[in-house]
Amino acid sequence: AQKVTQAQTEISVVEKEDVTLDCVYETRDTTYYLFWYKQPPSGELVFLIRRNSFDEQNEISGRYSWNFQKSTSSFNFTITASQVVDSAVYFCALSRSNQGGKLIFGQGTELSVKP
Amino acid sequence: GAGVSQSPRYKVAKRGQDVALRCDPISGHVSLFWYQQALGQGPEFLTYFQNEAQLDKSGLPSDRFFAERPEGSVSTLKIQRTQQEDSAVYLCASSSDRLRGEQYFGPGTRLTVT
């Protein structure tokens, strides 16, 4: 079965702190895709990143970075120097290459960045 | 360009009523997905269209749920004889590449069944 686990339900940090959101996934497929989405209070899910299972290179985009490790089935997300605008619910998701792209989401991690 | 739009944004229905939720995907996106998001949970897949063809409806929770996309653009999710457990946010997403492309989500329709 495919499953995504985000063990951290809520995280609270003070502005400028670094914060890492954990994501662990389960799949027997060799080809799959991993995603992170941000859901601000407005409710609209915003795409952040896609990774395919053959690309384990870490990625950095501004203050955001992602660490993909197949050996531990993890795809963690780090925000450096957090800002109040980073406050949102963050979802990790998995899709299988043979299932038309439907996303399997984790439960989400609610990040609160306080000034 | 315009993103995915959904209407209505909020819907209150009395138990037993039928509701219809509309999704306008990004122009040119062939793939369209519906998800259901309960309070405090991650979205859960309901159904998927490739153009007008409904290729996967494995996530629809009961035969009271029906989705269509007759001309391969706008989609409607219909729920018949609504029940309280149907209360949730219904999200629509579209994608230009169903296998590898990211899905762009609309703002959702919050359905409350009283």
Residue A58 confidence (pLDDT): 84
What's the rounded Cα separation, in Å, for the pair A28 and A33?
A: 13
Residue B65 confidence (pLDDT): 98
B11 vs A52, which has greater pLDDT? B11
The 10s digit of each residue's pLDDT in B32-89 is 999 999 999 999 999 999 999 999 999 999 999 999 999 999 999 999 999 999 999 9
Residue B1 has pLDDT above 60, yes or no: no
Residue B102 confidence (pLDDT): 83
The answer to whether the CB atoms of A50 and B33 lie below 8 A apart is no
Residue A36 confidence (pLDDT): 96
Provide the pLDDT confidence category of residue B100 given band limits of 50, 70 and 90.
Answer: low
The answer to whether the CB atoms of B31 and A101 lie below 8 A apart is yes
The answer to whether the CB atoms of B95 and A50 lie below 8 A apart is no
Residue A111 confidence (pLDDT): 98
Query: Is B39 in CB contact (< 8 Å) with chain A?
Result: no
Residue B99 confidence (pLDDT): 61
Residue B98 confidence (pLDDT): 60
Query: Is B70 in CB contact (< 8 Å) with chain A?
Result: no
Residue B67 confidence (pLDDT): 98
Going by C-alpha positions, the residue among A94, A91, A100 that lies closest to residue A48 is A91
Instruction: Nearest by CB to A43, from B44, B104, B108: name it.
Output: B108
DSSP symbols for A36-98:
EEEE-TT---EEEEEEETT----EEETTEEEEEEGGGTEEEEEESS--GGG-EEEEEEEEETT
Residue B8 has pLDDT above 60, yes or no: yes
| Average confidence score pLDDT of chain A | 93
- pLDDT under 70: residue ranges of chain A: 98-100
Residue B16 confidence (pLDDT): 97
The answer to whether the CB atoms of A103 and B91 lie below 8 A apart is no
Query: Is A21 in CB contact (< 8 Å) with chain B?
Result: no
Instruction: Nearest by CB to B42, from A33, A101, A105: name it.
Output: A105
Q: Tokens 């389960």 belong to which residue?
A: A26
The 10s digit of each residue's pLDDT in A33-60 is 999 999 998 888 999 998 888 888 888 8
Residue A4 confidence (pLDDT): 97
Quick check: helix, strand or coil at residue A115? Answer: coil
Query: Is B21 in CB contact (< 8 Å) with chain A?
Result: no
